[in-house]
């Protein structure tokens, strides 16, 4: 069983509306080669890695957004990435907009696939936590319409075995919710892969810009430590057609420490030799779920979606 896994976060700089998939796939392949050259066996690309972050735009006809979706994975434009990964023997996580037909119904998901070193799809995840809003808000500097263009993921929070270890995936806003880490950790997750596209300003409420990066790292470092898991996180960063997104791609140890971090808002590969046994002592002691969790007191977490005024218990 693998103990040390050299993993990379492959951060993408801006992808503009005018950028075609072939040019983006070329950039992904360049970073895959760079990571392979550094000895990495796993590469994490961002959320919606193939296109610009199109949920920032409103179209009266939502079907206008379909051009940003993949109808097959791999498809003709993404096949070169799968082929190169297979040639190099590198596994990867790729975030993309998935248009799928199930029982004659068309569905739209914000998805990610985990591809093994042999170029085969090991697993798929569909984003559960869709932030933002579904209506057009003309007053906003930019929209955030994931609730308009995507359905809530219907695959739950699966985990998969890769390199003999238990891997989990999530997408962007999922990383802000402790439930994401906990469900997968209850299934034995040892390393979580996450891609994100995070605007560098809060369009809903004025807040200091530095909080975007602070909250980005805070949530993932807490999730890593509270579940004794590694986190490999990759941003799509920089200004896409003028709309800024944070970078800060990083690799986080089960101790909660950031051990590698991107310095730019461009295409940048950061990597680290992850000791997949490091989280064991945390899972055996401070966060020994079996010894310390008291589920008889946690019922509200799955019985109640939001808080409502209730008489004090």
Which residue, chain included where needed, has tokens 């040892």?
190
Pairing of strands 191-196, 230-235: parallel
Q: How far is the CB of 104 from ligand ING (least distance, A)?
A: 29
Residue (of 208, 198, 207, 288) closest to 244 by Cα position: 198
Instruction: Determine if 56 is a binding residue for ligand ING (CB under 6 A).
Output: no
At 305 the three-state DSSP class reads coil
Q: Is the separation of the CB atoms in 39 and 307 below 8 Å?
A: no
> Active-site residue among 40, 170, 172, 274?
172
Site for ligand ING in 251-310 (CB under 6 A): none
Q: Which of 7, 12, 159, 172 binds ligand ING (CB under 6 A)?
A: 172
Instruction: Determine if 173 is a binding residue for ligand ING (CB under 6 A).
Output: yes
At 94 the three-state DSSP class reads strand
Q: How far is the CB of 240 from ligand ING (least distance, A)?
A: 12
Question: How many helices (H) and strands (E) are present in the chain, helices listed first?
Answer: 8, 14
Q: Is 236 a catalytic residue?
A: no
Distance, CA of 28 to CA of 297 (rounded, Å): 46
Q: 173 or 261: whose CB is closer to ligand ING?
A: 173
> Active-site residue among 127, 212, 236, 283?
127
Instruction: Determine if 80 is a binding residue for ligand ING (CB under 6 A).
Output: no
Distance, CA of 274 to CA of 37 (rounded, Å): 17
Q: Is 170 a catalytic residue?
A: no
Q: Which of 131, 158, 178, 244 binds ligand ING (CB under 6 A)?
A: 131
Site for ligand ING in 194-213 (CB under 6 A): 196-198
Q: Is the separation of the CB atoms in 71 and 99 below 8 Å?
A: yes
Q: How far is the CB of 175 from ligand ING (least distance, A)?
A: 7
Distance, CA of 206 to CA of 202 (rounded, Å): 6
Distance, CA of 89 to CA of 286 (rounded, Å): 37
Q: 48 or 167: whose CB is closer to ligand ING?
A: 48
Q: 91 or 112: whose CB is closer to ligand ING?
A: 112
Q: 78 or 197: whose CB is closer to ligand ING?
A: 197
Q: 16 or 217: whose CB is closer to ligand ING?
A: 217
Q: 143 or 282: whose CB is closer to ligand ING?
A: 143
CB atoms within 10 A of CB 120: 11
What number of chain residues touch ligand ING (CB under 6 A)? 7
Region of residue 147 (left: phi > 0; alpha: psi -120 to 50; beta: else): alpha
270's tokens: 């950061």
Q: How far is the CB of 128 from ligand ING (least distance, A)?
A: 11
Q: Is 47 a catalytic residue?
A: yes
Task: Give the residue numbers marked as catalytic.
Answer: 47, 127, 172
Residues that bind ligand ING (CB under 6 A): 131, 172-173, 176, 196-198
């Amino acid at each position: 069983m693998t103990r040390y896994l050299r993993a990379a976060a492959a951060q993408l700089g801006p992808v503009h509306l005018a950028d075609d998939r072939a040019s983006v796939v070329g950039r992904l392949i360049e970073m895959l080669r760079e990571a392979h050259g550094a000895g990495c066996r796993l590469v994490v690309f961002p959320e919606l890695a193939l296109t610009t972050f199109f949920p920032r735009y409103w179209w009266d006809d939502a079907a206008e957004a379909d051009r940003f979706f993949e109808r097959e994975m791999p498809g003709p434009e993404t096949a070169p990435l799968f082929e190169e990964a297979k040639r190099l023997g590198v596994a990867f996580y790729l975030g993309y907009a998935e248009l799928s037909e199930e029982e004659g119904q068309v569905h739209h998901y914000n998805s990610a696939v985990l591809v093994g070193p042999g170029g085969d799809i090991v697993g798929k995840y569909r984003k559960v936590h869709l932030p933002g809003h579904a209506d057009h808000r003309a007053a906003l500097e930019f929209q955030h319409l994931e609730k308009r263009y995507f359905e809530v993921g219907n695959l739950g929070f699966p985990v998969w075995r890769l390199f003999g270890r238990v891997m989990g995936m999530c997408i962007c806003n999922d990383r802000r919710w402790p439930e994401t880490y906990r469900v997968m950790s209850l299934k034995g997750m040892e390393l979580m892969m996450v891609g994100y596209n995070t605007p560098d300003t809060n369009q809903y409420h004025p807040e200091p810009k530095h909080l975007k990066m602070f909250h980005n790292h805070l949530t993932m470092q807490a999730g890593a430590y509270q579940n004794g898991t590694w986190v490999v996180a990759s941003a799509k960063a920089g200004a896409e057609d003028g709309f800024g997104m944070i970078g800060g791609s990083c690799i986080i140890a089960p101790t909660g420490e950031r051990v590698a971090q991107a310095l730019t808002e461009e295409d940048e590969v950061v990597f680290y030799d992850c000791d997949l046994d490091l989280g064991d002592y945390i899972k055996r002691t401070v966060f020994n779920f079996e010894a310390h969790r008291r589920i008889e007191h946690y019922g509200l977490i799955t019985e109640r979606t939001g808080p409502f005024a209730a008489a004090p218990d």
